[in-house]
C-alpha cells in the first residue's frame, strides 16, 4: 500500500506526484506520462500554463489505467482569458476528463494586484460544489494571500503548492506553519533544487552523511535526492518531481519506505539550509 496524506476535505492524496511543468512545459508528455504510470506513479500534476494538457490526457489514456486509480491536478492560469469555470472546462476537454481530483489557482499575483482573490476563490468553491473538481486549492500563496481568501471562504483550500527545499526553508517554514494550523496540506515543487540546481552547497555533506547512514540501515543505496524527499515526507509535505527516466521514478517511489531521518539529521538539514537562501521559482510572489 503506497503512502497517502489526508486532505482537509476527507479525500487522500498520494505523497509523490509526477510534474509536467519546468523541463516538460510545452512539450509532448504522452510518453513520459505513460512511463511514469507504468512505473507506479498515480498522482499527476498539470497546469493550463504548461501548455501540454492534451498530451497529459493522451498519456493517461495510453497507459490503460482506470481513471479512479489516478489523482490528477491541473491549475488555473495566473491571467486566464475565460471565467474560472470556463477555464476548468477547457482544461477538462484538453485532458479528456470529466473531473479533476484537484484544481489550483496557479499564482495569486495577478488576482491580488487586481483585488480579485476572494472572487476567484468563490468561483473555485462553485466548481467543487458542481463536482468538476473533487478538491480545490492554491499555489504560490503567501500567508497574506491565504488570509485574504480565508476571510470569506466556506471551503478552506485543501493544498498550497509552493517551492520547498532547505535553501528556502527560512521563508517557506512560515507558510508551512500557517498552513499546518489551518489544515492546508503543503505540496512542494523544486524539492531537488539543492542537488540539481545548486549542487556543491553547504547542504551536500549533511545529505551525504544521512544518505550513507540510510544506505547502511536499509541495505540498498540511498541517494541525496531521496534524503531531500524523506525530509519533506516526514513533514507531511507532498513531493512533486519529474524525470523521464523510469529508474529515477522507481527510486523516488521507494523513498517512502526508507527508515526515518533522525531529529538531529533534520535539524542539521534545516540549520545548514537557512544559512544559504536560494530561491528558484517564487521570486514573482516574494519579489526577492
Ligand atoms: N506551482 C508552481 O508554480 C510550480 C509547480 N511545479 C510542479 O512541480 C513539478 C516538479 O518541479 P521541479 O522543480 O522540476 O522538481 P525537482 O526539483 O524535483 O526537479 C526535477 C529535475 O531534477 C531531475 N531529477 C529527477 N530525479 C533526479 C535524481 N534522482 N537525481 C538527479 N536529478 C534528478 C529531473 O531530471 C528534473 O530536471 C513540475 O513539473 C510542476 O508540475 C514546478 C514549479 C513551479
Ligand atoms: O509552475 C511553475 C511556475 C509558474 C507559475 N505560473 C505559471 C504559469 C505558466 C507556467 C508556469 C508557471
pLDDT in tens, 238-254: 999 999 899 999 999 99
DSSP 8-state code for residue 217: H
- CA 51 to centroid of ligand 2, rounded, Å: 10
- Is 277 within any annotated ligand binding site? no
Residue 180 grid cell? 499546518
Which numbered ligand comes closest to the C-alpha of 225? 1
Give tens-digit pLDDT for 14-44. Answer: 999 999 999 999 999 999 999 999 999 999 9
Share of the chain above pLDDT 90, in %: 94
Q: Supply the pLDDT for residue 268.
A: 98
The residues that are catalytic are 50
Q: Supply the pLDDT for residue 30.
A: 98
CA distance 283 to 160: 16
Pocket test for ligand 2, best of 19, 21, 44, 75 (most atoms within 8 A of CB): 21
Lowest pLDDT segment from 33-42, 66-75, 94-103, 278-287: 278-287
281 versus 101: which is more confidently predicted?
101
Residue list, ligand 2 pocket, CB within 6 Å: 21, 47, 49-50, 78, 106-107, 281
Give tens-digit pLDDT for 250-286. Answer: 999 999 999 999 999 999 999 999 988 899 987 766 6
The answer, yes or no, to whether residue 288 has pLDDT greater than 60, is: no
How does DSSP assign 128-163, residue by residue? Answer: HHHTSEEEEEEES--HHHHHHHHTT-SS--SEEEEE
Q: What is the dotted CATH code of the domain comprising 4-193+237-243?
A: 3.20.20.100
Give tens-digit pLDDT for 177-205. Answer: 999 999 999 999 999 999 999 999 999 99
Amino acid at each position: 500500500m503506497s503512502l497517502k496524506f489526508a486532505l482537509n476535505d476527507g479525500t487522500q492524496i498520494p505523497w509523490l506526484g509526477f510534474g509536467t511543468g519546468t523541463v516538460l512545459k510545452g512539450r509532448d508528455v504522452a510518453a513520459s506520462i505513460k512511463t511514469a504510470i507504468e512505473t507506479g506513479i498515480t498522482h499527476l500534476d498539470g497546469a493550463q500554463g504548461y501548455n501540454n494538457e492534451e498530451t497529459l490526457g493522451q498519456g493517461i489514456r495510453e497507459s490503460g489505467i482506470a481513471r479512479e486509480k489516478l489523482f490528477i491536478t491541473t491549475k488555473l492560469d495566473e491571467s486566464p482569458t475565460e471565467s474560472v469555470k470556463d477555464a476548468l472546462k477547457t482544461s477538462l476537454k484538453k485532458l479528456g476528463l470529466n473531473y479533476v481530483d484537484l484544481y489550483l489557482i496557479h499564482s495569486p499575483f495577478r488576482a491580488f494586484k487586481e483585488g480579485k482573490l476572494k472572487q476567484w476563490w468563490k468561483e473555485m468553491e462553485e466548481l467543487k460544489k458542481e463536482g468538476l473538481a473533487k478538491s480545490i486549492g492554491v499555489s504560490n500563496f503567501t500567508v497574506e494571500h491565504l488570509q485574504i481568501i480565508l476571510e470569506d471562504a466556506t471551503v478552506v483550500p485543501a493544498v498550497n503548492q509552493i517551492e520547498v527545499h532547505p535553501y528556502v526553508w527560512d521563508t517557506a517554514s512560515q507558510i508551512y506553519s500557517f498552513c499546518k494550523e489551518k489544515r492546508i496540506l503543503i505540496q512542494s515543487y523544486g524539492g531537488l533544487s539543492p542537488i540539481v540546481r545548486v549542487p556543491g552547497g553547504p547542504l551536500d555533506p549533511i545529505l551525504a552523511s544521512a544518505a550513507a547512514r540510510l544506505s547502511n540501515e536499509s541495505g540498498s543505496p540511498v541517494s541525496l535526492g531521496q534524503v531531500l524527499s524523506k525530509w519533506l515526507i516526514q513533514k507531511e509535505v507532498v513531493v512533486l518531481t519529474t524525470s523521464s527516466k523510469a529508474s529515477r521514478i522507481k527510486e523516488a517511489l521507494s523513498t517512502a519506505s526508507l527508515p526515518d531521518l533522525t531529529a538531529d539529521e533534520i535539524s542539521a538539514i534545516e540549520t545548514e539550509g537557512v544559512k544559504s537562501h536560494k530561491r528558484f521559482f517564487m521570486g514573482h510572489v516574494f519579489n526577492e
